[in-house]
Structure 1
């Protein structure tokens, strides 16, 4: 039975990955900060799908938390989903620098370190996959969040190119607006976001797994967002920024 480790696994896209992979008969390792929520999620998945579920409470914004997850990954997994992330309330440059640095640690350093911890085992077994959850924001300009997600996309493509093994797949997942806890936790007002732009987490994961199976290195779920990204790449950066400001983060 293959094993998948998912960070940020108790809500939103991470929880959707857990459901999908449990349905596909993966054993799961769930990572998040809240041990109670982790345990509750694990119990529900065991009951519904009958799979093995391990909980690993860890704060990826700390070296201690990262070291715990790195250690578990060195024990071997077949699929790593780097999903943990958050948004800051407020806009650059008014967000406290310690909050910005923490974002970079979770979005960038954690993705780097956990990928490096997982790859040796995958290389030894000559198979495996890593999904790094980025965002459509990576293709636009909106503060530290979009900058950090742009790094995730570039890193994922670069890592896949350097590994150069079709049996070890590394993919950046770039969803648009998804109905999760993300905006509420960041105290963001999402009322200006048009209803047609919202996606469901389960749909995002379904498309991500399809694109991973096809060997794609960047997955942008939904035709609406594929079109937005395609147009965004053609227009000047200043116009991109204006649109981003109007629609929101």
Structure 2
């Protein structure tokens, strides 16, 4: 049976790169995003280039209806999903109290509630089959004290660590992929000025996904692409909290 991967936020950035690499590896794809036209265009291109079957599932993960639709697909036993990639997300350019609380609520819903509910649906179905894999796209920001984005990603990292250990005896592995700055639309869409970020801190999506998939297949609970970010991720553990908070607050 062909493995089926469901990818949220699949039309751009890391989601699109996960779709491309998994298609190249022969996976059947279920692509999830809000923009149906863009989804269909992406699905057709991948099907033509790699000869894989693609399915589109338009869904807005900031809504209960969108989350429920994707969860229902994950629970289906017809053409079961063997790999879930929780990738959908966005950032807020302003600091916490400068944002309307409604924006923060939506932010939390997409970054935490949606992947939590999708993990629940996927893990429930995977337990019945005795096999499966989940990749949660987190961030090295999850190791830093840096606002609600970091807090949300910290939740995802901690959950993935626990779930990987707890469900491994059931043949299921869960990996948090934690990139740093990546050349995608992410910062442009949130309206953040990234001009002050040095060039050595930027990664390309191809590398992030390649290393993330490698670590997920190895059963690792956390994947930090590139040696430079592996080193940077360890710094908060040895630097005093007050200093780390000050350093992490610089720029957006």
Q: Same fold (TM over 0.5)?
A: yes
CA contact 2:127–2:170 (8 Å) conserved in 1:
no
Question: In 2, Cα distance between the equivalents of 1:124 and 1:132?
Answer: 21
Question: In 1, Cα distance between the equivalents of 2:42 and 2:243?
Answer: 42
Question: In 2, Cα distance between the equivalents of 1:68 and 1:138?
Answer: 28
Query: What is the deviation of 1:166?
Result: 6.4
Question: In 2, Cα distance between the equivalents of 1:101 and 1:175?
Answer: 24
Question: What residue is the counterpart of 1:130 in the other structure?
Answer: 134
Question: In 1, Cα distance between the equivalents of 2:149 and 2:124?
Answer: 29
Question: What residue is the counterpart of 2:209 in the other structure?
Answer: 205
Count of residue pairs brought into register by the alignment: 248
Which stretch has the larger CA shift, 154-163 or 7-16? 154-163
Which of 188, 195, 206 is equivalent to 1:191?
195
Q: Is 1:28 the equivalent of 2:26? A: no
Query: What is the deviation of 1:241?
Result: 1.8
Question: What residue is the counterpart of 1:175 in the other structure?
Answer: 179
Equivalent position SS for 2:203: coil
- Structure 1 runs, 4 residues or longer, greater than 3 Å off: none
Which of 88, 94, 104 is equivalent to 1:90?
94
| Structure 1 residues without counterparts, runs of 5 or longer | none
Question: What residue is the counterpart of 1:6 in the other structure?
Answer: 7
Which of 153, 158, 161 is equivalent to 2:157?
153
Superposed CA RMSD in Å reads 1.1
Query: What is the deviation of 1:232?
Result: 2.4
Question: In 1, Cα distance between the equivalents of 2:96 and 2:240?
Answer: 21
| Structure 2 residues without counterparts, runs of 5 or longer | none
Question: What residue is the counterpart of 1:43 in the other structure?
Answer: 44
Query: What is the deviation of 1:189?
Result: 0.5
CA contact 1:166–1:215 (8 Å) conserved in 2:
no
Equivalent position SS for 2:94: coil
Q: Please give the per-residue CA displacement for 1:53-103, whole angstroms capped at 9, x wherever unaligned.
A: 100000000000001001100012100000000001211211110110111
Question: What residue is the counterpart of 2:238 in the other structure?
Answer: 234
Question: In 1, Cα distance between the equivalents of 2:240 and 2:171?
Answer: 37
Q: Is 1:101 the equivalent of 2:123? A: no
- TM-score, structure 2 as length reference: 0.96
